[in-house]
Amino acid sequence: SGIFKKARELTVLCDAEVSLIMFSSTGKLSEYCSPSTTTKKMYDKYQEVSQINLWSSHYEKMQAHLNKLKEDNSNLRKEIRQRMGENLNGLHMEELRGLEQNMDLALKVVRERKYHVIQTQCDTYKKKIRNLEDTNKRFIRALEGRDENGELLFADGSGLDYESALALSSGGANLFAFRLQPFQPNLHDDAGYGTQDLRLA
């Protein structure tokens, strides 16, 4: 705290540019920099005055890493071209044999994946076909006026109209057919005044 206080006093009283960096034994960072400058500007000014390049070692490491990445990229491109059948003149017998084995293995993996995709698509199409066949059967039964067991839905054997059959084939559970019949045969000609019941067929 006393050192930082002195740094601030130097900044104000002497109109100096001060940068102070400290690390404790536990690695904790404490720093102070004059408001009129930045730590980077202080480093740059230090390098300019002392003729010491603080970043040369770091730059060399970055350059070495960049060169390594370029070499890896070049090797990968060369391997890709060789897998495409190019640039094979400089390869020895063992290298050619290894390249051939790698290509055979890659071809096997690709072929197995292709067959898997084909099988999956076939299974999906088979399910769709079965669903369409079931829907078609339900539609035909509905047009004929029959239930799932083949029993007639109507006592007189009459079928449905198109709209009703379509609704029934789509699973319409609330579709019922009714037939109006005279309750007493001797009232059949009684101008509609006879007692009649609504019978569910």
pLDDT tens digit string along 48-83? 888 888 778 888 899 999 999 999 999 899 888 888
Is 134 inside a domain boundary?
Answer: no
Is 44 inside a domain boundary?
Answer: yes
Q: Which domain holds residue 24?
A: 1-52
**Angle between helices 93-144 and 56-83 in degrees, nearest 10:** 70
Is 45 inside a domain boundary?
Answer: yes
Is the pLDDT reported for residue 164 higher than 70? Answer: no
Q: pTM higher than 0.95, yes or no?
A: no
Is 28 inside a domain boundary?
Answer: yes
Is 113 inside a domain boundary?
Answer: no
Q: Of all residues in the chain, what percent carry a pLDDT higher than 90?
A: 23
Write down the pLDDT at residue 114. 94
Q: Give the burial string for 31-50 (b: 16+ CB within 10 Å, else e).
A: ebbbeeeeeeebeeeeeeee
Q: State the total domains in the chain.
A: 1
Is 185 inside a domain boundary?
Answer: no
Domain of residue 44, CATH code: 3.40.1810.10
What confidence tier does 43 reach under pLDDT thresholds 50, 70, 90? confident
| Tokens coding 190 | 């009684």
Is 111 inside a domain boundary?
Answer: no
Is the pLDDT reported for residue 12 higher than 80? Answer: yes
**Angle between helices 162-169 and 93-144 in degrees, nearest 10:** 130
Is 22 inside a domain boundary?
Answer: yes
